[in-house]
Amino acid sequence: MPDRTPRYGIIGHPLGHTMSPPLHNSALAHFGLPGSYQAWPIPPEALADFVASMRRSVEGGRPILGVSVTIPHKQAVMEMLDSVTGRAGAIGAVNTLYWDDGRLVGENTDCAGFCDPFRSGVAEIPRSALILGAGGASRAAVAGLRELGVQSICITNRTAERAGEIARDFSIDVVAWDERADVDAELLVNATPLGMSGESVQASPYPAEAFRPWQSAYDLIYNPLRTRFLREAGQAGCGVIDGLSMFIGQGLEQFRLWTGKEYSRESARSLLAGLL
Ligand code: NAP
């Protein structure tokens, strides 16, 4: 009998350290599901072969039932699939591959991940938000705020043109980077790497003196968990949301697409916070 044990994994290049394998393997074990989740470093020139092998795997051998997609493949993989969801199309990037009735589909669960703290009741849905940064995570955050029904969304970025592109794509407001502290937004979202462990760890995208106690700060960075942005927001009396919430939310949405099972965010958080 051929081995038909399912496989799951993450593709990217270079992959470096990723918390996705412990998250998904612990969820598989929790539900007693067969299979395992691995890290597959795939260079750009091997991406098409990987997608072809994923298609072949469901015909015979060990089927690849789900894949997480990270840098640099999030855009390139889109044209290799049978379809992408409307959400992934609007964001312009795919971070998840799953099978739907024999068709290979691309989804973007960063958007659901961004929304998770609001949908799970950890934080209140704001009426207005300012997004700092205009890369891939920023697009997922803007799409998420739209899905949550946030009325007023504004974006700012060091490079104004990139903020302008997102503002046009999503019909939101844009403000100059130097004027970001003047925006009266209930939620401030850090979608830049400022504050991430490494050489930017002491940096923050927002001036400490500009936080007001009725605001909340959401940092998409999860390493470290308490960034300078969140520390200074907390000191000013603001509510804070860390990036592990988004990471867990996007991962649990992937797991649900692949297995139909809802893994507990509390179990995921205690597992992953211990690994940081
Ligand atoms: P990206 O596409 O490279 O975009 C980075 C953004 O940060 C750009 O808008 C860039 O501005 C801005 N930026 C970079 N250095 C800056 C500086 N010194 N001063 C001011 N702005 C600066 O990155 P991304 O993929 O969107 O990721 C952004 C952050 O979100 C990262 O920290 C990442 O770890 C985090 N993230 C978290 C999750 C999660 O699950 N929690 C998921 C995805 C990403 P320019 O346009 O001017 O270069």
How far apart (Å, rounded) are the C-alpha atoms in residues 57 and 7? 9
131 pLDDT band (50/70/90 cuts)? Answer: very high
How far apart (Å, rounded) are the C-alpha atoms in residues 263 and 24? 9
Spatial CB neighbours of 121, under 8 Å, sequence gap ≥ 6: none
> Which of the 8 DSSP states describes residue 213?
T
111-126: pLDDT as tens digits = 999 999 999 999 999 9
State mean pLDDT over 67-80. 96
3-class state of residue 144 by DSSP: helix
16 pLDDT band (50/70/90 cuts)? Answer: confident
Q: How close is the Cα of 193 to the center of ligand 1, in Å?
A: 5
* Protein residue whose Cα sits closest to atom 20 of ligand 1: 158
Closest by Cα among 83, 95, 111 to 10: 95
Token look-up 């994994």 returns 9
User: Is the per-residue pLDDT at 71 higher than 80?
Assistant: yes
Q: How close is the Cα of 199 to the center of ligand 1, in Å?
A: 14
**Averaged confidence pLDDT in the chain:** 96
How far apart (Å, rounded) are the C-alpha atoms in residues 244 and 219? 9
One-letter amino acid of 266: E
Q: How close is the Cα of 137 to the center of ligand 1, in Å?
A: 7
Spatial CB neighbours of 151, under 8 Å, sequence gap ≥ 6: 127, 128
> Which of the 8 DSSP states describes residue 125?
P
For residue 240, what are the β-bridge partners?
Answer: 217
248-271: pLDDT as tens digits = 999 999 999 999 999 999 999 999
Number of C-beta neighbours around residue 60 at 10 A: 9
User: Is the per-residue pLDDT at 47 higher than 90?
Assistant: yes
> From the CB of 108, is ligand 1 less than 6 Å away?
no
The structure tokens listed for 243 are: 């990036």
Quick check: bond before 14 cis, omega within 30?
yes
- What pLDDT was estimated at residue 164? 98
Catalytic pick among 7, 24, 73, 74: 74
Roughly how many angstroms between the first and final C-alpha of the chain, as a whole number? 41
201-246: pLDDT as tens digits = 999 999 999 999 999 999 999 999 999 999 999 999 999 999 999 9
148-184: pLDDT as tens digits = 999 999 999 999 999 999 999 999 999 999 999 999 9
- What pLDDT was estimated at residue 61? 86
Backbone dihedral region for residue 203 (phi beyond 0: left; psi -120 to 50: alpha; all else: beta): beta
Closest by Cα among 151, 136, 149, 145 to 112: 145
Q: Is 74 part of the annotated catalytic residue set?
A: yes
